[in-house]
Amino acid sequence: MRYARLRVRLFAIVSFVLLALPIPLVLEEEPPLPALEVASSTTLTPTTEPPQSTTTTRPEPPRTTTTTVRVPASTTSTVPIERISADVLVYGTTSAGVGAVRALELAAGGQKPLSVALVSAGHQIESPLAQGLGVEDAYGGEAYLSGFYQEFRQGVIDWYQQRGSAVHAPGGRLHYEPEAAAEVLRGFIERPQVSWHTGYPIDAQETDEAGERWVLLKDADGGFTRIEAKYLIDASAEGDLGRLLGADYMIGRSEELFNDKDGRRPPPPTKANNWQTAPQALSMLLTLELHDGAAPPLAAFEHPWYEPAGFGERHGLSEQTLAGFAESWSIAHALPSGTFELNEAWSDYMSPEASFEWVLYPERRAEIRREMADWVLNRVRYLQENGHRGVGISSVPARPYVREGVRFYGEQVYRGSDIDQGAEQGTVVLGAYARYDRHDAALGSHQDSDGAVVRIPLRAMMPKGHPFLLTPTAISCDESAYCSAVRMEPVRANMGAAAGVAVALAERSGLPPAQVDLEAVRAELRRQGHRLSVENSAG
């Protein structure tokens, strides 16, 4: 207990120092490059066994110039900065980010679509659909799947059929390998009107003295890019861009409002505050394969994020887990090529500090990712060396599954009570899943047995006081609503599409997205194949 209290105090002190001192950004790269490392501010060690559930070619960027401008805050020197102009900046190649790009294209109706500057941390598809989440998260079958997500879904089915393989859809629930999802999603963004950039936003203005709206990016090599755009879509779960712009947000189970720009930063999660500010557990969703004989030993597995010499007792699994693994959820849901998505309570990274730091400190992400990959690979190694010698690794994702980042405070707050009452408030996204499903980083996994329908309003994607910013992943909702279908990828994908439609209609009408006609947005979504009610299959 004395050690635990000391560790909590140390974490709080170091976190305070991190807030006060400038830290050079360390950005992510996709494999096979090693993760870039920074000095760790704390040791992030998850619990040994979490509680069980109680219930290609890049398009040329549009309008590119090179100029010299002053880098803000961190230095007084001037450096060359690539300058990009686009109609829309989309931050994040998440399901929502790709959905926004696709909806913007479809909304053009055959005319020239708006130009898009798409930004990701590394030149990769960040969507969990392409990062190991291969078993579809949806209740109610295809009745609640429509629009952009349905288009993606059909693309995956076609991908397998073109290769002479039938996609797995037992009970209507699609199963697929991450490489299939990645290729289909890339197809939506590799368009002439889309330029793809890598980096992290370090400065931004919604309207500066010259009346321009811009975001300054810094990449892993220390280069800078300034992107000027009329409209901003932060499709990340972490809300990096929205937080930089000064949007109010909530985090974890807390309903308190925080604001990075104003200096109202959330306190680190601790036992003393009941881990209130901890987002849900992160997971590296490995893809497994089963061998008839012994799989290649993980003791000799080579990966830049794995250190076999670190294997030890803390990676052990309970006898119950070992005995039940052959009939576990992951093994019961085989993917089309005979591989398996590892998505178990014991494979979550149960560190509330890691979840908190991942969201709020981008400079820590590369190191946290390495720690997570090392952790879960060693847990699978324990399986392999304790009765499951046929278990091997098919692929390691480039990014973790970020179930939860922040929740922005918007023009409208979507609440759990709205779900319970079936409230209709101008729905732009429909979805179904468990009423409450939370992988709590400190308290374990909790899921109820009942399904529920979400009817998400457009204004929940619009942070209050930021009329040209939309946030279709980190939407404005309470924790109760967030832990429903709101956080599921079919819904996230279509929330991105709704944001894209709102921007397209804003450009057409000359109004900020927050002032576009709701019924016009709904009409365009229906035209793009979105179902907005369950009573009428036509939407």
The residue-averaged pLDDT of 228-248 equals: 97
Q: Compute the distance between CA of residue 530 and CA of residue 85 in angstroms, rounded to an integer.
A: 31
Tens of pLDDT, residue by residue over 63-100, are: 444 444 445 544 445 678 999 999 999 999 999 999 99
Binned at pLDDT 50, 70 and 90, residue 209 comes out as low
**Best CA proximity match to 285, nearest among 334, 330, 336:** 330
pLDDT value of position 220: 86
Burial of 164 (0-12, 13-18, 19+ CB in 10 A): exposed
Q: What percent of the chain has pLDDT over 70?
A: 84
Binned at pLDDT 50, 70 and 90, residue 208 comes out as low
Question: Which residue has 């036992």 as its token pair?
Answer: 271
Q: Is the pLDDT of residue 200 over 90?
A: yes
pLDDT value of position 46: 63
Kindly state the DSSP code that residue 92 receives in the 8-state scheme.
-
Q: Compute the distance between CA of residue 493 and CA of residue 94 in angstroms, rounded to an integer.
A: 8
Q: Is the pLDDT of residue 318 over 60?
A: yes
Q: What is the rounded end-to-end Cα distance, in angstroms, of the chain?
A: 57
Q: Is the pLDDT of residue 40 over 90?
A: no
The residue-averaged pLDDT of 40-55 equals: 44
Binned at pLDDT 50, 70 and 90, residue 210 comes out as low
Q: Compute the distance between CA of residue 174 and CA of residue 334 in angstroms, rounded to an integer.
A: 11
Q: Enumerate the domain spans of the chain.
A: 2-55+279-395
Q: DSSP of 487-507, one letter per residue?
A: GSHHHHHHHHHHHHHHHHHHH
pLDDT, greater one: 9 or 307: 307
Distances, alpha carbon 189 to alpha carbons 59, 84, 103, 195, 199, in Å: 10, 18, 11, 9, 17
Q: Are 207 and 444 in contact (CB under 8 A)?
A: no
Residue 167 three-state SS: coil
Distances, alpha carbon 230 to alpha carbons 36, 46, 90, 503, in Å: 33, 43, 11, 9
The residue-averaged pLDDT of 488-493 equals: 98
The residue-averaged pLDDT of 31-57 equals: 39
Residue 249 three-state SS: strand
What's the mean pLDDT when you consider all of the chain? 87
**Best CA proximity match to 282, nearest among 365, 193, 195:** 365
Range from 166-175, 300-309, 475-484 carrying the lowest mean pLDDT: 166-175
Global pTM value? 0.88
pLDDT value of position 445: 84
Tens of pLDDT, residue by residue over 378-426, are: 999 999 999 999 999 999 999 999 999 999 999 999 999 999 999 999 9
Q: Compute the distance between CA of residue 160 and CA of residue 369 in angstroms, rounded to an integer.
A: 30
Q: Is the pLDDT of residue 61 over 90?
A: no
pLDDT value of position 139: 86
Residue 457 three-state SS: strand
Binned at pLDDT 50, 70 and 90, residue 143 comes out as confident
pLDDT value of position 142: 84
Range from 22-26, 170-174, 261-265, 278-282 carrying the lowest mean pLDDT: 22-26
Binned at pLDDT 50, 70 and 90, residue 44 comes out as low
Kindly state the DSSP code that residue 387 receives in the 8-state scheme.
T
Q: Compute the distance between CA of residue 115 and CA of residue 425 in angstroms, rounded to an integer.
A: 31
pLDDT value of position 52: 43
Q: DSSP of 287-301, one letter per residue?
A: EEEE-SSPPPPGGG-
Please list, residue by residue across 199-221, b when 16 or more beta carbons sit within 10 angstroms of its beta carbon and e when fewer do: bbbbbbbbeeeeeebbbbbbbbe
Kindly state the DSSP code that residue 87 receives in the 8-state scheme.
E
Question: Which residue has 């899921």 as its token pair?
Answer: 447
Q: Is the pLDDT of residue 192 over 90?
A: yes
Q: Compute the distance between CA of residue 395 and CA of residue 339 in angstroms, rounded to an integer.
A: 10
Q: Is the pLDDT of residue 273 over 50?
A: yes
pLDDT, greater one: 212 or 430: 430
Distances, alpha carbon 507 to alpha carbons 4, 184, 516, in Å: 54, 28, 9
Q: DSSP of 303-315, one letter per residue?
A: -TT--GGG--GGG
